[in-house]
Copies of this chain bind each other. A is one copy, B any other.
């Protein structure tokens, strides 16, 4: 887990602020849940591997001696959302559109863009089975990334029921579906032969495994330039495969609706149906999505429909679909590509007020107060050191200008402003100082 020094906090805040603003433009409202959940809320929701990665909190007081845990740190933002929806059902609108940008914790091995404390930026819509939901989620996530400056991302799209149809068509038995998907998910990493081996080791009939791989190879071939023609091409091939499969056919028409409607949004041209997309979490029931860029092995985010999860808390299903952007991965790519505004790097203050002498500190404080009332960010040097030392400090801190109240300036009711970049210094009326400082700041950050 990491500390974030000021420059890094500014970068993180810039990304979170941008994403939140876009999410709000799509009509999502903010929700926050506590870092700590009852341990039963989390256990059994993320698979066996997930259970192992949950940080568990020891009982307090005398009960600590038992060595037992009753609480746990939030593992994702989806399960707490499902709990909230079950708990506050009557207070929430029919279509609950919430965003949530908060940290989650996993006792995982750290890797590039992967940490034990990390932030998820989630949007979810509860209460509707309409494909407008999937479309708006793809659009919101795409718009957020585009607003941050990303130009080269792809939204991969698939459907859990379509995957089920393909597995059925290949002759994979239902109980082996989950394992087959885990194996197929590795096609990029371990190749066709590797997957074939893993399918066998997972107890899947060798000929069913072969048919499955042939199907996937066939469906993934013939990549097209544009998303629209690629999607049409894949839908045609898939239709032939799942023709007799009810759930698969319905899934295919849902995907068709999504790729058709999404062309009317800011995600136009970005969404591509990818038959090999599986997504790890077991709670997905319908469409699944993932966003990728060429220079990151993992995804920038992902999501999907999970119509049964709220039912685990409420005893009654509520349709739900969501998308999560990973803050740290976005920041890793933005940092490597130099996508952050330069100004974020150094903006401790707009101006630093010096202390001329120990006897005139009140003058400096009054000046600082005036400049702050004018809306400026004002640092005050805390010690009556030699003025040269104070100015050097401002320079080292990257503050664009320094305000000085020498004996002459005070007598004339003026203030000296030194532009740290040009070294130029002028004396100006106190009332004109805020404008002068603004001008220097604009010039400093323009170049």
Which residue from chain B places its CB closest to the CB of A262 in the assembled complex? B365
List B contacts of A447 (CB < 8 A).
Answer: none
Interface-forming stretch among A57-65, A322-330, A411-419? Answer: A57-65
Interface size class of A (residues with CB under 8 A): 35 or more
Q: Which of A346-379 contact B (CB under 8 A)?
A: 348-349, 352, 355, 361-363, 365-366, 368-369, 372, 375-379
Return the CB mask of A24-40 against B: 1 if under 8 Å, else 0: 11110111111110000
In the bound complex, do residue A57 and residue B60 qualify as a contact, i.e. CB atoms below 8 Å apart?
Answer: no
Partner of A107, one of B60, B80, B264, B348: B60
Partner of A365, one of B55, B94, B261, B361: B261
Interface residues of A, dominant DSSP: mixed
List B contacts of A396 (CB < 8 A).
Answer: 93
List B contacts of A132 (CB < 8 A).
Answer: 355, 361, 365, 380, 382-383
Does chain B have a CB within 8 A of A156? no
Which residue from chain B places its CB closest to the CB of A365 in the assembled complex? B264
In the bound complex, do residue A55 and residue B60 qualify as a contact, i.e. CB atoms below 8 Å apart?
Answer: yes
In the bound complex, do residue B31 and residue A3 qualify as a contact, i.e. CB atoms below 8 Å apart?
Answer: yes
Does chain B have a CB within 8 A of A1? yes
Chain B nearest CB: distance from A60 CB in Å?
A: 4
CA distance A88 to B7 in the complex (A): 14
List B contacts of A25 (CB < 8 A).
Answer: 372, 375-378
Partner of A33, one of B3, B34, B94: B3
Which residue from chain B places its CB closest to the CB of A32 in the assembled complex? B4
In the bound complex, do residue B105 and residue A36 qualify as a contact, i.e. CB atoms below 8 Å apart?
Answer: yes
Interface-forming stretch among A95-103, A173-181, A189-197, A200-208? Answer: A95-103
In the bound complex, do residue B349 and residue A27 qualify as a contact, i.e. CB atoms below 8 Å apart?
Answer: yes
Which residue from chain B places its CB closest to the CB of A133 in the assembled complex? B382
In the bound complex, do residue A36 and residue B6 qualify as a contact, i.e. CB atoms below 8 Å apart?
Answer: no
CA distance A116 to B37 in the complex (A): 12
Does chain B have a CB within 8 A of A294? no
Q: List 19 A-B contacts (CB under 8 A).
A: A1-B34, A3-B32, A12-B32, A25-B372, A25-B378, A26-B378, A34-B117, A36-B73, A53-B60, A56-B57, A57-B57, A57-B73, A67-B68, A95-B382, A139-B365, A139-B369, A261-B361, A261-B362, A263-B362
7 smallest A-B Cβ distances: which pairs? A67-B67, A27-B379, A1-B34, A6-B29, A264-B365, A9-B30, A4-B32
